[in-house]
Amino acid sequence: MTHLTRRNLLRTAGAVSAGALLAPSMLGAPLFVPERKTQRVVLIAMAGGVRTRETFGMPDNVPNLVAMAKEGVLYPKLRTSNLGHFGATMSIFTGLAEARGIRENARGPDPTIFEYLRKDLGLDKGDVWVTTSGGAQQVNYSYGLHPEYGPQYGANILDGDGIFNREFEELLERWGKPKAADPEEQKILERLRRGMGKGDAVKDAEQQARVEEYILNELTRGTSDIRGAAAGDRKALRLARNLMSIFKPKMLGVVLQNADIAHSSYNGYVEVVRQNDAAIGELMAAIREDEELATTTAVFVCPEFGRDADLNARRGLDHGDGSDDLRTVGCAAWGPDFKQGATVTADHKTIDLTTTICELMGAKAKLAKGGRLSGLYS
Ligand SMILES: [Zn+2]
């Protein structure tokens, strides 16, 4: 009886090699050595529409974000882009607030922060990741279609829903005796690859094998037991936590979205905010507990926009009233080069994140229109 093992999975993928089991940082990719202590960045788009009122305005909801801000810099009023969830979240990653050809469920025309960093710093694909809460639309965050950038500089993408759903785990559990070229196994592997960005984002066999190894580790840790209104977001954050521990990537984006339950339920929304804060706390704990990560990792958490000032008829919160609650968000920045316990109320925007992070890492966001976050460095 052959049980499902990492090696079986890799063999079935046709990608067994010594390199397949090495972490990307061991593969000799050219690594940029910045003057600053920061060598890696986690950028969490706390998207789905989250007001500062329910985060830094109600510290009991978000003890982990508050702790981050106390040890870092809080920007309580960043101005947001008015482009709908998808466009506004995309703008955080492109540093561009104009809706230049951004359609729902399509890649944008502009380069993303992932492409800037990979191209300018010569980063290996294994060093740049994005994990998302789920849904076909979210694969579009990994790269844009700009001719000077694009898929060859894109991020690896892991989609919480596509990979960790219950049905998928059951398929793997039944798959106790792998045989090469078994149609069912092929189907499973195809689904794995779809979860990683429709196959086009992961062409390199070694990279693919590492992803599959990682996924298998995750499945055996029971990640797919995560349930509830914030399940997609918590999976994305769990993926992020494990990616940090296993691969220590240079750039990791995380895209959340479950807070949008607020349209129909204020209480459900607050619960998502609280659960996401707890999951961010787990990610932060993993970073703090790892000596290398703790001294080299910067973390930014920022919603794409807020929500209306007043409850709607369903006792929920929409997003369209143009209020300050909608148009400004609270952003926390934490890292070895940053001030501790500072609050910066200067005029800034969510699109400043891409410019700021690229500069922090030694890259240039050439087409971004954001400025630099002031008051950040110690
Ligand atoms: Zn919405």
Ligand 1 midpoint to CA 337 (Å): 35
Cα 295 to ligand 1 centroid, rounded to whole Å: 37
pLDDT band, residue 243 (cuts 50/70/90): confident
Nearest to residue 110, comparing CAs of 358, 368, 353? 368
Q: What is the rounded distance in angstroms from the CA atom of residue 250 to the CA atom of residue 283?
A: 15
CA 161 to ligand 1 centroid distance, Å: 19
Which residue shows structure tokens 């769990």?
238
Cα–Cα–Cα angle for 222, 228, 232, rounded to 5 degrees = 70
The rounded percent of the chain whose pLDDT value lies above 70 is 72
Residue 259 counted as domain residue: yes
CA 304 to ligand 1 center in whole angstroms: 11
Cα–Cα distances in Å, from 373 out to 10, 35, 71, 345, 363?
A: 44, 19, 17, 10, 16
Strands 251-255 and 156-159: unpaired
Q: What does the pLDDT read at residue 260?
A: 97
- Give the model's pLDDT for residue 323: 96
Point out the least confidently predicted range of 161-170, 258-267, 292-301: 161-170
Average of per-residue pLDDT across 299-310: 98
pLDDT on residue 206:
61
Instruction: Tell me how far apart the alpha carbons of residues 38 and 41 are, in angstroms, rounded to a whole number.
Output: 8
**Domain-embedded: residue 202:** no
Encode pLDDT of 113-131 as tens digits: 999 999 999 998 778 988 8
Distance CA 348, CA 355 (A): 12
CA 104 to the chain's CA centroid: 19
Q: How far is the CA of 50 from the centre of ligand 1 (A)?
A: 10
* Domain region containing 136: 32-168+222-361
pLDDT for position 192: 57
Residue 147 within any structural domain of the chain: yes
- Please tell me the distance between residue 261's alpha carbon and the centre of ligand 1 in angstroms: 8
Average pLDDT in the chain: 82
Q: What are phi and psi of 302, to 5 degrees?
A: -155, 125
Which of 206, 358, 236 shows the shortest CA–CA distance to 244?
236
Instruction: Tell me how crowded residue 98 is: count the other CB atoms within 10 A of its CB.
Output: 14
Q: Is residue 230 part of a domain?
A: yes
Which tens digits make up the pLDDT trace of 44-65? Answer: 999 999 999 999 999 999 999 9
Specify if 200 maps to a domain: no
Predicted local confidence at residue 247, as pLDDT: 76
What pLDDT shows up at residue 8?
39
* CA–CA dist 297, 284 (Å, integer): 10
CA torsion sign for 371, 52, 115, 247 is: positive
161, 134 contact by CB (below 8 A): yes
Q: Is residue 185 part of a domain?
A: no
> Is residue 17 in a domain?
no
Centre of ligand 1 to C-alpha 17, Å, is 45
Instruction: State in Å: Cα 322 to ligand 1 middle.
Output: 14
Ligand 1 centroid from CA 230, angstroms? 15
pLDDT per position as a tens digit, 72-108:
999 999 999 888 999 999 999 999 997 666 667 788 8
CA of 107 to the centre of ligand 1 (A): 20
Determine the Cα–Cα distance for residues 115 and 155; give it in Å rounded to an integer. 7
Euclidean distance between CA atoms 153 and 191, whole angstroms: 23
Which position has the higher pLDDT, 273 or 133? 273
**Can you state the angle between helices 266-289 and 63-70, rounded to 10 degrees?**
50
Distance 257 CA to ligand 1 centre (A): 9
Find the 73 Cα to ligand 1 centroid distance in Å.
28
Q: How far is the CA of 134 from the centre of ligand 1 (A)?
A: 15
The whole-number pLDDT of residue 246 equals 74
Q: How many domains does the chain have?
A: 1
Cβ burial of 34 (10 Å; 0-12, 13-18, 19+) is middle
Q: What is the mean pLDDT of residues 335-346?
A: 98
Q: What is the mean pLDDT of residues 33-54?
A: 92
pLDDT at 98: 77
**Contact residues for 167 (Cβ-Cβ < 8 A; gap 6+):** none
Dist. CA 260 → ligand 1 center (Å) = 5
CA dihedral 62, 65, 70, 71 (to 10 degrees): 150
Which among 39, 34, 5, 43 has a CA at the least distance from the CA of 256?
43
The answer to whether residue 28 scores a pLDDT higher than 60 is no
Average pLDDT for residues 321-332, to the nearest whole number? 97
C-alpha 319 to ligand 1 mean position (Å): 6
* CATH code of the domain containing 309: 3.40.720.10
Q: Could you tell me if residue 203 is inside a domain?
A: no
Tokens 């709607």 belong to 312
